Amino acid sequence: MDSINDHIREYSIQLRKGQIQKAYRGIMDFMAELKGRLERRHPDYAAGALYYGYMDMTYFSFTPPALRDLKLKIAIVFLHEECRFEIWLAATNRKVQSCYSELLRHKDLGRYKLSEIEPGVDSIISVQVDDNPDFDNPEGLKEKIESQAIGFTEDVSAILKNGQDLK
């Protein structure tokens, strides 16, 4: 399959089966519910709009004021093809991303992974939350993601030492 027509025909065949629509709707509903839960339970954090993506990733930002003041944000990300959740430290723009990536290159990040800056990479630091999410237990999955997101945020804040040495 090399032509766009071939790809679209295959896409139509898969859509007629009905599984893709159900799965996509389930993911979008879950992400919207997760975002709402985090907003209710952590009103001091700023939540960004839900980005639906191109069936590659779906995410929203969820950031405490201290990181927002540093032009950083936390992203809760679902990667469709990999079928896994990740949490990212990201920046408001590429220049800020580049600065923090360079400054963090020489810090002990513990269990977290520093991302390589290249086209299409939005994270500065990332961590996998769940590479086998159980959508049949949505409350348990939401709890797991929330717990890890808050822990990640606290760890990142400690790594940055509240941003004092990185401004």
Give the phi and the psi of residue 10 in degrees, each rounded to 5.
-65, -40
Strand partners, 78: 58, 85
Whether pLDDT at 164 is above 80: no
Question: What percent of the chain has pLDDT above 70?
Answer: 96
Question: Which DSSP symbol is given to 118?
Answer: -
* pLDDT one-digit tens code per residue, 19-55: 999 999 999 999 999 999 999 999 999 999 999 999 9
Model's pTM, two decimal places? 0.90
The tens digit of pLDDT for each residue in 123-136 reads 999 999 988 999 99
52 DSSP assignment: -
44 close to 64: Cβ distance less than 8 angstroms: yes
Task: Delimit the domains of the chain by residue range.
Answer: 4-163
pLDDT of residue 100: 95
Among 70, 69, 88, 68, residue whose Cα is nearest residue 78: 88
- C-alpha to C-alpha distance for 83 and 74, rounded to whole angstroms: 20
